[in-house]
Amino acid sequence: MAYVVTARKWRPQKFVEVVGQEHITTTLKNAIKDGRIAHAYLFAGPRGVGKTTTARILSKALNCLNPIDYEPCNECETCKSIQAGQLMDIIEIDGASNRGIDEVRTLRESVKYAPTRGKYKVYIIDEVHMLTKESFNAFLKTLEEPPAQTIFIFATTDVHKVPLTIISRCQRFDFRRIELDTIKSLLEKIAKSEEIEIDDKTLTLIARKADGALRDAESYFDQVVAFCGKKVDSSTVTKILNLIDDEVYFKLSDAVLAKNFKSVFEISEEIYNNGWNFTDFMDGLIEHFRNIMSVIITGNSDSIESAEIFRKKYMAYIDKFSQSDLLRLMNFLNKSGQELRFSQNQKLKIEIVLCHLIGLERTSTITEIIEGINKEVVELPTNLFREQEKKNYRPEISYKTPHFTASNVTTAKVKEPEENKINSSEFNFDTIVNTWQGFVDSVSQEKTLTLGHFIFDIKPVGLSGHKVNLQFNNDEDEKSFYYNIDYITKKAHNYFGKKLEFLTNKESLAETSTVKKNIEEKEITSNQEANTGDEFADLIINELGGEEIS
């Protein structure tokens, strides 16, 4: 027996065998059951999804001598004649080669004759949108009021080219793009029947290449089997169909997390050496980050069309990217993809784009920052803080990276610095200078928000008895320092083992006392007026020295 391609050998012969179009096949079966047969049908949809196949099955079901559950039996003489293309009552016409008005006039004349052997005379016109405007106009009257035993079935991939006057005279059925998992299931069934060994990853590659067209998938299947034989592997299929390996996308997303710029040139070289299209790579990269976003939002991989092995890899990205960062990445890639199409040196352009992609810094929303502050501020006037203060909790935050996100904020105990008990005979200015940095680090850890941003810039410049002269960069730092003077004095006493008084180097003791007095008076006034009813507003005014603006 001569070889028959898979698309013809496995062409459905019953409504139930048509995959991915259940909404259409069920409607047609119910119409036959209830005797509600229309005189004209319009099947619209992308290529290779079953339009012509469904039209043939419908014509068999209408003329079958022994229908079973309103399906053609495929055993009677009429069904066999239709399958062999020998029944004169089933006329298939190619709209592209019979598009003129003369062909339509001939069709109009043949419509008048009754069917010879079947119940209905069925005209199947494929690619009907190719008919000329004059042909459509000449066909209108016949289509609106055909003979009782005549049925028209039109199939088209460009329904928008069909005049509305034709569409309004037909029952329109829109065929869907077939889902990837559905194509994979059918190809797996065919492979088992043909005794061909093929894995899930390879089936995914073929189904994705088909882009929803089952006929294309079956054609690709024949192509790879012809090359590989009875055992088909994914690496060979990638080369045959010139597909971009998904591992490349995962390698790049990992590089974004690790800030690995070196991988940019490795990926660019791999794309170039394999002959992959840079535009296709960019489209696939956008889809890759879209899949990551769907996993982060939904918490599962149900909406991802990919192999099972890759779905597990996508699940590993949960909590590693934020939604706002992914939106920025996808927006950047979308704009870069448009620029890439007009670039003369696409390899160089893709390297620049990927370097920018890896270099993008993470962002935090205002909500995340506020949540981080709520978790980290140790003097919040809440019962939670009081409980933590009793347990001696301290936030472990580095001043050099004051960045809060909902995912990386942690609360931990900070080890208290050892007390430096200094003998009176050993206490001098050099001692203060040598131990000052440790004192500053301790204060910064406990008062990150109020003192941490400037405490490192304060330097001791003199010592007179128990009075330490300090040098400030500006008046604001000095003001903030004296707002917290009680805390600093207690902290210095615990750290140095002596009760010290801190003075400003540029002012006398009397002037400094005046400054402190004014600050204390203002603080008292501020505390009295800072009862706004808003917990966060009161916190900013009382703890950070903010002022309410009317």
- Among 219-233, 409-423, 448-462, the range scoring the smallest mean pLDDT is 409-423
CA 495 to chain centre: 53
Supply the pLDDT for residue 46. 93
Topology at the third CATH level for domain 180-240: Helicase, Ruva Protein; domain 3 (1.10.8)
Residue with tokens 């010290």: 500
Residue 499 main-chain phi, psi, to 5 deg:
-85, 110
∠ Cα 189 192 195 (to 5°): 150
d(CA 447, CA 441): 10
Residue % of the chain over a pLDDT of 90: 38
Same fold: 180-240 with 246-359: no
DSSP state of 68: B
Q: Which of 131, 162, 165, 175 is nearest to 43 (CA)?
A: 175
Higher-pLDDT residue of 349 and 398 is 349
Judged by phi (left if over 0) then psi (alpha if -120 to 50, else beta), residue 318 lies in: beta
Task: Give how far Cα 145 sits from Cα of 28, 90, 111, 113, 410, Å.
Answer: 21, 19, 11, 14, 77
Amino acid at the residue 43: F
Burial of 521 (0-12, 13-18, 19+ CB in 10 A): exposed
Q: Is the CB of residue 117 less than 8 Å from the CB of residue 79?
A: no
Largest Cα separation within the chain, whole Å, is: 126
Mean pLDDT of the chain: 81
Average pLDDT over residues 364-371: 63
d(CA 224, CA 240): 7
d(CA 251, CA 247): 6
Question: What CATH number matches the domain at 246-359, 3.30.930.10, 3.40.50.450, 1.10.10.370, 1.20.272.10?
Answer: 1.20.272.10
pLDDT of residue 339 exceeding 70:
yes
Summarised one tens digit per residue, pLDDT across range 106-146 is 888 888 888 888 889 999 999 999 999 989 988 888 888 88
Task: Give how far Cα 366 sits from Cα of 116, 370, 403, 406, Å.
Answer: 77, 6, 12, 11
Amino acid at the residue 505: N
Residue with tokens 């506020």: 370
Summarised one tens digit per residue, pLDDT across range 11-58 is 999 999 999 999 999 999 999 999 999 999 999 999 999 999 999 999
Q: Which of 268, 239, 272 is nearest to 252 (CA)?
A: 268
Higher-pLDDT residue of 418 and 468 is 468
What number does CATH give the domain 6-174? 3.40.50.300
Summarised one tens digit per residue, pLDDT across range 301-336 is 888 888 888 888 999 998 888 888 888 899 999 999
Q: Where are the alpha helices (DSSP H) in 341-392?
A: 346-359, 366-376, 383-390
Domain regions of the chain by residue span: 6-174, 180-240, 246-359, 365-413, 429-544
pTM over 0.85: no
Higher-pLDDT residue of 184 and 501 is 184
d(CA 178, CA 181): 9
Sign of the dihedral through C-alpha 530, 533, 537, 538: positive
Q: Which of 420, 415, 412 is nearest to 439 (CA)?
A: 420
Q: Given pLDDT bands bounded at 50, 70 and 90, which one contains residue 192?
A: very high
Indicate the Cα dihedral angle 475, 476, 478, 482, nearest 10°: 140
pLDDT of residue 418 exceeding 90:
no
Residue 232 main-chain phi, psi, to 5 deg:
-110, 130
Supply the pLDDT for residue 444. 78
pLDDT of residue 546 exceeding 70:
no
Q: CB under 8 Å to 59, separation ≥6 — which residues?
A: 82, 90, 120, 122, 124, 151, 153
Q: Is the CB of residue 393 less than 8 Å from the CB of residue 411?
A: yes
Q: Is the CB of residue 462 less than 8 Å from the CB of residue 505?
A: yes
Q: CB under 8 Å to 21, separation ≥6 — which residues?
A: 49, 50, 54, 175, 176
Topology at the third CATH level for domain 429-544: GMP Synthetase; Chain A, domain 3 (3.30.300)
Q: Which of 515, 511, 522, 528 is nearest to 545 (CA)?
A: 522
Amino acid at the residue 98: N
Q: CB under 8 Å to 14, separation ≥6 — which residues?
A: 57, 71, 72, 74
Q: Which of 400, 407, 462 is nearest to 432 (CA)?
A: 462
Q: Is the CB of residue 154 less than 8 Å from the CB of residue 173?
A: no
CA 521 to chain centre: 56
Higher-pLDDT residue of 541 and 97 is 97
